[in-house]
Amino acid sequence: MTATKKLTKIFILLSLFIMLFATCSLAVSAEGTTEAAVAVAEEAADNSAGMKAVAAAITVGLAAAAGAIGMGIAIAKSVEGISRQPEAEGKIRTSLMLGLVFVETAIIYALIIAVLIIFVL
């Protein structure tokens, strides 16, 4: 399996995890305010804040871990390619940098989603 296919699978799994935790956080916050009385709703709001923090932490943690694994694989393969074909160093390095930028962008999107989970939902 090529590194591109592995990175694609990692990105897809990362996206699914982010959507899962965002949905769980929405369900928890909506459940606590509609079904309970006023006193129970206040207690559920405190619990909801904790669940939001857990969802945000897991989102950022998974994104960072998956991004680090993807970056490590990409760097290893680019070094291997440069060692095999030193004359293609410029093209390989350019492709590597572009790929690393895309991976880092996905991690930053996960951070933005985590901030939205904490402060908006």
Whether 84 contacts 39, CB under 8 Å: no
- Residue numbers of the chain with a pLDDT score lower than 70: 1, 3-4, 7-8, 11-47
Nearest-angstrom CA–CA distance, 82 and 90: 9
Domain spanning 3-119: CATH superfamily:
F1F0 ATP synthase subunit C (1.20.20.10)
User: pTM to 2 decimals?
Assistant: 0.58
User: pLDDT tens-digit profile of 9-19?
Assistant: 776 666 656 66
Whether 52 contacts 25, CB under 8 Å: yes
Task: List all residues 6 or more positions away from 77 whose beta carbon is below 8 Å from its beta carbon.
Answer: 3
Task: List all residues 6 or more positions away from 22 whose beta carbon is below 8 Å from its beta carbon.
Answer: 55, 59, 113, 117, 121
